[in-house]
Structure 1
Amino acid sequence: MKIEQYISQLLFRYQCVTVPGFGAFLTEFQSAQLDENSHSFYPPKKMISFNPFIKNNDGLLANHLAQAEKISYEIAVNSIQNEVSHWKTKIQEFGSFSVKNVGDFSLNSENNIVFIPIDQINYLTASFGLSSFVSPAVKREVYKEEVEQLEEKAPIIFTPEKRRNYSVLKYAAVFLLSAGITGTVGYKYYENKIAQETLIVETNVQKKVNQKIQEATFYISNPLPAVTLSVPEKKLPYSVVAGAFRIESNAEEQYQRLLELGFKKAKRLAPNKHGLFPVVYGSYSTYSEAHKAMKNIQKLDNKAAWLLVDEL
């Protein structure tokens, strides 16, 4: 049974899709890109990588396969194992194989697996409908050179004019300047006079208002009831997952282990739609905070820890 299409479907919705016994496909957000050499613009996308050390069955792929094919969970697990065995045989015999709509696998000189993701599909749903495009370069320098060439070919010739007698205009300008200065001084005096009178009136009015306020007595016979404001709970959509268990007692055992290790933010989540009981190291409000915590946990405690994003 081919499982490539089910891996591709899950990559649209999750950041980690584990293939039991083989490895995990991880996605990471990449912002929009600009290639200055080719003048190409690329929309935001999910970058796909492969981690061969995450092999534990978290139940995500098996449950999705069981629901899609309408088979039991055990049969789905066996189908995944058969497909993984087929992949390993192909890479040992031919040195490479491809997972449709995901990427290509090959062996390097040190016999290690090398993964090259596919570029044709953008798994970031927020970028649906956006595609890359090429914008022609703006040729500003070319236009500048053309203008300079035209100036060289057609130089501007200045023709001197006959000098006129401007003595009368000079005296007229002096007269207008003097009249303007006199008018300005007079206007400033008038403006200051109006401002002083206005200030006196406003001061008297303010004194009367303050007197009325002191004499007044306010009484509310029917006061309004107190209003209680409820602050909405802060959403923590990003969680670092320690594991998802089919048996609840196993989930409780893992939860108690995390508390003993000092992970105070550890908690158990409600069973998901696949019937699994998730246990997380902690939940966070931003992706960057959760991603940083996941990297530290992978170094200190669990290399297989992965990031869960709740649907908003």
Structure 2
Amino acid sequence: MQLTTYISDLLYRYECVIIPGFGAFLTRYKSAHIDDFTNTFNPPSKIVSFNKQLQANDGLFANYVASVEKCSYESALQKIRTFTAQISRELSEGKTISFKNIGEFSLNDEKSLQFEPLKHQNYSTSAFGLSSFVSPKISREVYKETVGAIEKKAPVIFTPETRESKPYLKYAAIAVIAISAIGFGSLKLYESQVQKFNLAERQKANSLVENQIQEATFVIENPLPVLSLKLPKHAGMYHIVAGAYREEGNADKKVEQLRDKGFSPLKMEPTRYGLHQVLYASFEDRIEALNKLREIQKTENADAWMLVQDINQ
């Protein structure tokens, strides 16, 4: 299933990837943590989950498929419909569907869709090069028990006669206390120096890791092509597309129709495939754009879709 590879590519870049008519894959950040049972140290990661309720087409997945496979947007939608129909048919037959590097789908006894994500796959680019490792647990009670056993076997007892007959022991005790105080002060100074050294080394290590992450090249199969779009009047990352036309005259007619209906449409520059896209509107907020898209699909154009692209004005 080539489309599963495209989904995996998008999960590195987006927190929500919707498969029209099937559901949405969501990613959530999880900080580094320690498994107390296995003594395993785990790096920061992104946890993948699935929501069947999010099925409305936002244009992200279809636009990516069209860009990679160099086909029209309508052809990409048809491929996605065929893909989801095949998955639904195989699931109804009791099969388990595996999405490469993502997880597995199956139906339970109540015929409800179940998703089990892969544990080893990490979609957090900030954790590149970091892996889990196991460290044995440090036991801090062994030495305490040993000292306690020695004290029971050889207790130190000072009698009044001893102190009276040997007064120099008093001065020896004072000297021992003074030496201990000096030793304790020296130990504290040494610990302070060690902490400063460790802090400096930790900062060096963090700086080195950050530089390596910035310089690292993430090799993703079928990378997303760079789209050069010019939106002189529309601002925002989320754009509602009314249609894409091969003939520029048809795009101009669509602009006039939308303007007569009260919209402020925009005809974009032709794409690398020669298509003229006409926009209803653009938004900074994703939720606001989705709400407007659903409204337009219900009242104006059922085939309207969303283009997710950061465009510099």
Normalising by structure 2, we get a TM-score of: 0.55
Shift of 1:75: 2.8
Letter of the structure 2 residue corresponding to residue 132 of structure 1 = S
CA offset digits 1:118-174 (Å, max 9, x no partner): 11111111111122222221201122112211222233354545237xxxxxxxxxx
- Report what 1:78 is aligned to: 78
- 1:244 Cα offset (Å): 5.6
Deviations 1:247-277 (A, max 9, x none): 6979x97xx99xxxxxxxxxx9x99x99875
Q: 1:20 to 1:83 in 2, by over 3 A?
A: same
User: What is the identity, as a one-letter code, of the residue corresponding to 2:167?
Assistant: R
Gaps of 5+ in 1: 165-238, 258-267, 284-289
The alpha-carbon deviation at position 20 of structure 1 amounts to 1.6
Give the secondary-structure state (helix, strand or coil) at the position aligned to 1:24: strand
User: 2:98 and 2:47 mapped to 1: Cα distance?
Assistant: 17
Structure 2 unaligned segments of length 5 or more: list them: 169-235, 245-250, 296-305
Amino acid aligned to 1:163? P
Per-residue CA shift, 1:55-103, capped at 9, x if unaligned? 2222222222233233333332222222211111110002431111111
Is 1:148 equivalent to 2:152 in the alignment? no
CA distance in 2, matches of 1:278, 1:48: 32
1:23 and 2:23 are equivalent in the alignment: yes
**Which residue in the other structure is 2:41 paired with?**
41
What is the identity, as a one-letter code, of the residue corresponding to 1:65?
Answer: V
Equivalent-residue separation in structure 1 for 2:114 and 2:239 (angstroms) = 27
User: Which position in structure 2 is the counterpart of 1:67?
Assistant: 67
Q: How far did 1:24 drift?
A: 1.2
SS in 2 for 1:49: strand
- d(CA) in 2 for partners of 1:106 and 1:11? 21
Structure 2 match to 1:109: 109
Name the residue aligned to 1:162: 166
Structure 1 pair 280–44 and aligned structure 2 pair: CA distance change class (3 A): farther
Structure 1 residues 119 and 137 mapped into 2: Cα distance closer, same or farther (>3 Å)?
A: same
Change (3 A) 1:280 1:30: farther
* Contact 1:95 1:106 (C-alpha < 8 Å) held by counterparts: yes
Deviation, 1:116, is: 1.5
The 1:49–1:278 alpha-carbon spacing in structure 2 relative to 1, beyond 3 Å, is farther
Aligned counterpart, 1:230: none
Distance 1:246 1:139 in 2: 67
Query: Does the C-alpha gap of structure 1 residues 126 and 309 become closer, same or farther in structure 2, counting only changes over 3 Å?
Result: farther
Larger Rg: 1
Contact 1:242 1:302 in 2 (8 A): no
Tell me how far apart the structure 2 counterparts of residues 297 and 151 of structure 1 sit (CA, whole Å): 75
Deviations 1:178-211 (A, max 9, x none): xxxxxxxxxxxxxxxxxxxxxxxxxxxxxxxxxx
Cα distance change, pair 245–51 in 1 and its aligned pair in 2 (3 A) = farther
Aligned match of 1:128 = 128
| Secondary structure of residue in 2 paired with 1:3 | helix
1:139 aligns with 2:152: no
Q: CA deviation at 1:22?
A: 1.0
Q: Secondary structure at the match of 2:49?
A: strand
